[in-house]
Structure 1
Amino acid sequence: MKRRDFLAMASVASAAGAAMWLPAAFVAEQGMARVDEPASGVSPGTPDARGYRNLLILVELKGGNDGLNTVIPYADPAYYTLRKNIGIKREQLIQLDGRAALHPALQPLMPLWQARELAIVQGVSYAQPNLSHFRSIEIWDTASRADQYLREGWLSRAFAQRPVPAGFAADGMVIGSAEMGPLANGADTIALMDPVRFARASRLVAPGSLHGRNVELHHVHDVAGDIVKAAPFARPATDAHDGQSALKTAFPPSAFGASIRTAMQALSTGDNLQGLPLAGEGVAAIRLTLNGFDTHQNQPGQHAALLAQLAEGLMSMKAALVEMGRWDRTLVMTYSEFGRTPRENLGHGTDHGTVAPHFVAGGRVRGGLHGVPPVLTRLDGNGNLPVSVDFREMYATVLASWWGLDPAIVLRDRFAPLPLLRV
């Protein structure tokens, strides 16, 4: 049985405190319509010189990130009127232009910004935003309308048509959450929590004879073992299988840093293991989760710590991807179920709101500010900001501009890609 015959796989990287899922590529032969040329100027189905295709890394900011204290409209006097206690002082913020600035905890991202490899999309949400955590993240995961209920994640729908792009060994990995999110409810999904136990339960092979009788399943088992062994260490010494040096990148000592380390080690180990590349053939998507953004009380300290983890994590991710030669073929995108209210609450926090900015990073990203900046004198009847960019426009950018697919089939409506990638 081939690795690609497993329609979904998962493995627990327990040392990182995260579930790692490895759903194998769906193999339906019906073709998905493709656009003539992706905006990145690179054919996503064609490997580069090292065999890499275009990879998507989604970073979920779970709980609803406060966009106004992430990308700060410091030139708008209403910002300090609405946030007398939690507003970021002008002398502390990191100025981007004459209107917008970053939270000081995001200082590590400045090299990305200065290299024009970081795009900030402002005003992202959807029409009639739902402020329930459960329902809103379901909308983001399934790419549905607010009044529409879809079963499959938006990536699952893409992969159900054809692997994206063809030739990928696995659809994706989900790390840091037990929920499949955008990869949910693919056909005949199997949760592989323990590769050895799975082999026994399925009666495919005895674990001891995996190498001789099913080399590819043995490879998956070994990759899972390598990930667990590597997770506690920032700088693993060598790859035991071929003696090549493992990643030299140091990762932050946080749960989020451990998740990134696990993902990067999975890619690196897959490249080198027994000449059977898991990542060399490619995974199309990785999803990571950073928890804790539901900041109803005492927000300043919590939010600063979370943004520092995000910034440090993203920079370590870039360093690892550069080390592997994959930065130019990787697109990193944040998302969150909603933003926060423009006005602070009595607990020095913020409540569930509507829009928020999101980050897109990568070697082919067209850096800078995109979307519509917030105008705090134009709040709606509930005191929230209006939507200016539908989140499905970001997904359309991935599907069309990054992977060369027709997004209308997956998103079930027409959304134009955003100009986030360099031609």
Structure 2
Amino acid sequence: MKRRDFLAAGATAAAAMAGAALSLPGSARAQGTALVGQFTGQLVGHDTHDTAPGYENLLILVELKGGNDSLNTVVPFADPLYNRYRPNIAVPRARAVQLDERTALHPSLAPLMSMWRARELAIVQGVGYAQPNRSHFRSIEIWDTASRSDQYLREGWLTRAFASQPVPRGFAADALVLGSAEMGPLANGACTIALANPAPFASDSPFGASVLLRERNLALAGVVDVESGNGCAANALRPRAGALKTSFAPGAFGASIKTAMQALASAGTPKGVPALGRGGVAAIRLTLNGFDTHENQPQRHADLLHQFAAGMVALRAALVELGRWNRTLIVTYAEFGRRVRENPSRGTDHGAASAHFVAGGGVAGGLYGQAPQLARLDGNGDLPVSVDFRRIYATVLGPWWGLDARAVLQQRFEPLPLLRA
């Protein structure tokens, strides 16, 4: 695993943007900045200024709903036990997209290689939590609330973050949720615009039929719900056809991405709000459904990963077009990984640790965490956890947003060195 010390940031960095100073919300000091080594050369889509922490830095969460099989996503092809445990569903070495001498990506993820080569894509292996729960409902609750397996919290971890430091005035909302009827990490208090079905809004229509609700946690298809309407301005986000030149993939996931990017492109610009946050949101949550692959996994999983890769490519293209790639952090998550051994139905059952992706113009790309050691499984035959998922959250809260991660997460988790200095 790559490790670098975190240095405390002394004072807020200032960046000139459209003639206005970039002001940070709340505390103007980052908890720490990861030093990940020297990176030379200017990459496509990279700004010339440093990224100061604050809500002007956008977070995009991508939920791989159902529990993604990490071993067939990030393939340990050099381990002879990989094919022994998976005689019928292993990704053939000849088709896998090699990353290094031991690790490869599923062939459906080949479109991500441009980000990998540009060092804009990080893969964190062995992500999970102690005493994992195999229930979809309970495990995703643990991820959404950033709790221990024996702890029950009411608010989502992003809800607590926004409560600890509200987003600045002029933002349309704290967050935008697309493609899901669940608030997840934004439950119980966050000011959230939620669209279970984004398709009707990927047009010239504004979010005009918005319903302002308090303590409502259900996004109805075709209806905009705004949790905790206080301070929300749903109509400031107006998805508009033709707002971007970027092409988006068909299907529900592609529609969610298209709507999110058109909303950002069409956001209003209230006076006095930093340019990168005007009329926008601090976080976007997208959901790609279908990863509960108990049977006939190979083709289903390949199709899902193809959708994911196409979505990531479109996200990058749109964010570069908008000038926001350097100030966006894309993070995947799921309730759990899958079992190491395939089951009799050519699928995989609920497991524990998994691999997750982190991407963005400010990301220090590469492999993080511990590579799967198939000869050293835990007592349940699962991949052992090497990175607590809350360390990824701590990276978002601290270095990315400049918040007190310990207060939000209710204990200290060291951020990962996923961001370039």
TM-score by length of 2: 0.78
Change (3 A) 1:113 1:397: same
Deviations 1:282-308, CA, capped at 9 Å, x for gaps = 411100000000000000000000000
Change (3 A) 1:126 1:167: farther
What is the distance in 2 between the residues matched to 1:263 and 1:279?
A: 14
Once the two structures are TM-superposed, the CA of residue 163 in structure 1 deviates from its matched residue by 1.9
Which residue of structure 2 aligns with residue 67 of structure 1?
70
- Asked if 1:250 is matched to 2:247, the reply is yes
Q: Is the 8 A contact 1:32 1:161 kept in 2?
A: no
1:269 aligned residue (254, 266, 269) = 266
- Asked if 1:362 is matched to 2:360, the reply is yes
What is the distance in 1 between the residues matched to 2:362 and 2:276?
A: 23
- Asked if 1:44 is matched to 2:53, the reply is yes
Instruction: Determine helix, strand or coil for the equivalent of 2:124.
Output: strand
What is the identity, as a one-letter code, of the residue corresponding to 1:44?
P
Give runs of aligned pairs for residues 236-315 of structure 1, distance below 5 A.
236-237=241-242, 246-271=243-268, 279-315=277-313
Structure ID, larger Rg: 1
Change (3 A) 1:81 1:145: same
Change (3 A) 1:398 1:191: closer
What is the distance in 2 between the residues matched to 1:116 and 1:248?
A: 25
What is the distance in 2 between the residues matched to 1:167 and 1:409?
A: 26
Which residue of structure 2 aligns with residue 132 of structure 1?
135
What is the distance in 1 between the residues matched to 2:209 and 2:294?
A: 43
Q: Bigger relative contact order, structure 1 or 2, given CA contacts below 8 A and separation 6+?
A: 1
Which residue of structure 1 aligns with residue 153 of structure 2?
150
Which residue of structure 1 aligns with residue 7 of structure 2?
none
Give runs of aligned pairs for residues 330-349 of structure 1, distance below 5 A.
330-349=328-347
What is the distance in 1 between the residues matched to 2:194 and 2:331?
A: 25
Which residue of structure 1 aligns with residue 228 of structure 2?
none
Q: Is the 8 A contact 2:340 2:381 kept in 1?
A: yes
What is the identity, as a one-letter code, of the residue corresponding to 1:112?
M
Once the two structures are TM-superposed, the CA of residue 280 in structure 1 deviates from its matched residue by 2.5
Deviations 1:314-333, CA, capped at 9 Å, x for gaps = 00000000000000000000
Stretches of structure 1 lacking an aligned partner (at least 5 in a row): 1-28, 46-51, 200-215, 231-235, 238-245
Change (3 A) 1:421 1:383: same
Structure richer in helix, relative to its length: 1
TM-score by length of 1: 0.78
Once the two structures are TM-superposed, the CA of residue 43 in structure 1 deviates from its matched residue by 2.0
Instruction: Determine helix, strand or coil for the equivalent of 1:140.
Output: helix
Q: Percent identity?
A: 65
Once the two structures are TM-superposed, the CA of residue 83 in structure 1 deviates from its matched residue by 0.4
What is the distance in 2 between the residues matched to 1:37 and 1:376?
A: 34
- Number of residue pairs matched? 355
Deviations 1:253-277, CA, capped at 9 Å, x for gaps = 1210000001001101115799998
Q: Is the 8 A contact 1:58 1:286 kept in 2?
A: yes
What is the identity, as a one-letter code, of the residue corresponding to 1:335?
Y
What is the distance in 1 between the residues matched to 2:169 and 2:269?
A: 21
What is the identity, as a one-letter code, of the residue corresponding to 2:263?
A
- Asked if 1:86 is matched to 2:89, the reply is yes
Give runs of aligned pairs for residues 103-142 of structure 1, distance below 5 A.
103-142=106-145
Deviations 1:3-59, CA, capped at 9 Å, x for gaps = xxxxxxxxxxxxxxxxxxxxxxxxxx9x679545544953223xxxxxx91000000
Which residue of structure 1 aligns with residue 79 of structure 2?
76
2:176 aligned residue (173, 177, 186) = 173
What is the identity, as a one-letter code, of the residue corresponding to 1:261?
K
Please report the RMSD computed on the Cα atoms of aligned residues, expressed in angstroms: 2.8
What is the distance in 2 between the residues matched to 1:405 and 1:35?
A: 7
What is the distance in 2 between the residues matched to 1:250 and 1:322?
A: 13
Change (3 A) 1:93 1:406: same
Change (3 A) 1:397 1:55: same
